Structure 1
Amino acid sequence: MSTPLEHSKKVIRTIRQKSNRAILFYSGGKDSIALLDLMAKEFEEVVCIFMYFVKDLEHVNKYIRFSQAKYSNVKFIEVPHWILSQIHRSGMFCVPQKIRLIKLKDVIEAMKIKTGIQYAFIGEKKADNMNRRIKLRQYELEAISTTNNVYPLSNWRDGDVLTYIEKNKLPKPINYGKKKNRSVGVFFDTDVFVWLRQNYPDDLEKILKAYPLSQKLLFDYDRQNS
């Protein structure tokens, strides 16, 4: 039985035999950091799609700059996160807007068309949660060609990813708080806002400028901890 790393390399090389270019949905989290390193060693070009919550946050940009400097065959395309359509339509910390809801699959298909690349790599794992476990088990029963979406880290656990990052001297992912998986990215979350206030206040200001009402998260936190 192959190890998770051996399985990942086999999946990546299988796709490499079909295409010299690939898309990676890159978040700056641990899974995408490790997966980018694996892919950059095989493909002639890796196009990373970064979906931003608020554009040009320095604590995120430094991961993008690192990747661009380390891998000469990697480029980045930045697009709004699909979840912003839900936020703006519902009016979460903003004025509601009548806009079309989109899902991740819509962004994936749009990026395939934009780049002309057939295969999209995503760093989801069975160990992440029950929904992903079910999804990835179903994926394994189907041929990759049904969607051309690829999940090489499906058999990994968080410990495997962190070990790979350490052994390959890659940047450690951001940990916004003590909760599990608080490195998943920027969102309307108290841990994220408190971490930004302590470490990247200018990034927090950019978020508050875009969504002034989200200041309530910090008001509530400060009141509860005063």
Structure 2
Amino acid sequence: MTLLERTYRTIDLVRVKSNEAIVFCSLGKDSLVLLDLIYPKFDRVVCVFMYFVEGLEHIERYIKWVKAKYPKVEFIQVPHWNLTYILRSGMYCVPNPKIKLLKLADVDLAMRLKFGIDYVFFGMKKADSMNRRLMLNTYPDYENAGKVYPLADWTQRDVLTYMRQKVLPEPVRYSNKASGGIGFNLYCFLWLRKNYPSDLRKIIKAFPMSERILFEYDNGTK
């Protein structure tokens, strides 16, 4: 059985139980591949994007592409669960001790209840980390209590190969050194200042003290 056949087996095992699916879509490589694999299989697909700052232009471009490419998708944006830790601790902002700390499982449950859908797909891979490998190895058919991981056996090379074959767009890379989504790091802020200064202003407005990242760089203090 090929990698793709094993992947579709995991998806099809869910499809016989439900014609609806939720996909956590970060707009990164893994989640775009996952969405492309799932989309033809289900009658209803809800994409959940978790943001740190809402309405960033360079993110909205990719959301528009997803909606055009997969027209039956329902796309929802919700605050990232990590924001609760950032806001409560006061990372680059005034701390708010009243914020209730959340986890991914809390957002997962909220989306299931909101849309009445039992199965949620994630793009996590064993190759991501040792912890991911240990976790995914414990799930038969890469499904656990409605959480589904079809890309569990994929490598980064597999993901890139699939993207080339399907002509999927390359997600934003803030630098050769940085990985993942947007965050409070110098490489991300430099990329935004050069390419999307209006998005940088939105982030600094939401997290005023984050301006220190560029200030220290520009003044050689870090």
Q: TM-score range by the shorter chain?
A: over 0.9
Structure 1: how far apart are the matches of 2:208 and 2:114?
A: 33
User: Does 2:191 align with 1:191?
Assistant: no
- Distance, in Å, in 1 between the alignment partners of 2:110 and 2:207 is 27
For normalisation by structure 2, the TM-score amounts to 0.95
User: Can you give the 5+ residue segments of structure 1 that lack an aligned partner in the other structure?
Assistant: none
2:153 to 141, 152, 155: 155
Task: Tell me if 1:59 matches 2:55.
Answer: no
TM-score with structure 1 setting the length: 0.93
Q: Partners of 1:132 and 1:187 in 2: how far apart? A: 21
Q: How far apart, in 1, do the equivalents of 2:173 and 2:139 lie?
A: 29
Alignment of 1:37-186 (within 5 A): 37-97=36-96, 98-140=98-140, 144=143, 146-179=144-177, 182=179, 184-186=180-182
Residue 17 (structure 1) aligns with: 16
Q: Percent identity?
A: 52
Superposed CA deviations along residues 117-161 of structure 1, whole A, max 9, x for unmatched, are: 0000000001011111111112238x83x4200000000111111
Give yes or no for the alignment of 1:7 onto 2:3.
no
Partner amino acid, structure 2, of 1:87 = I
Give SS of 1:41's match.
helix
**Superposition deviation, residue 220 in structure 1:** 2.1
Q: Deviations over 1:158-200 (max 9, x none)?
A: 11111111110111111111126x1x21111211111111111
Deviates more, 1:119-128 or 1:186-195: 186-195
In 1, Cα distance between the equivalents of 2:205 and 2:58? Answer: 17
Residues in 2 aligned to 1:5 and 1:223: alpha-carbon distance in whole angstroms: 51
In structure 2, how many angstroms separate the alpha carbons of the residues matched to 1:225 and 1:166? 42
Determine helix, strand or coil for the equivalent of 2:31: helix
Structure 1 contact 4–153 (Cα < 8 Å) conserved: no
Counterpart Cα distance in 2 of 1:151 and 1:49:
15
Residue 4 of structure 1: CA displacement? 2.5
Q: 2: CA distance between counterparts of 1:124 and 1:225?
A: 37
Rounded to whole Å, the distance in 2 between the matches of 1:213 and 1:195 is 18
Cα distance in structure 2, aligned partners of 1:87 and 1:74: 30
Residue correspondences, number = 221
Structure 2, unmatched stretches of 5+, are none
Alpha-carbon separation, structure 1, partners of 2:220 and 2:6: 47
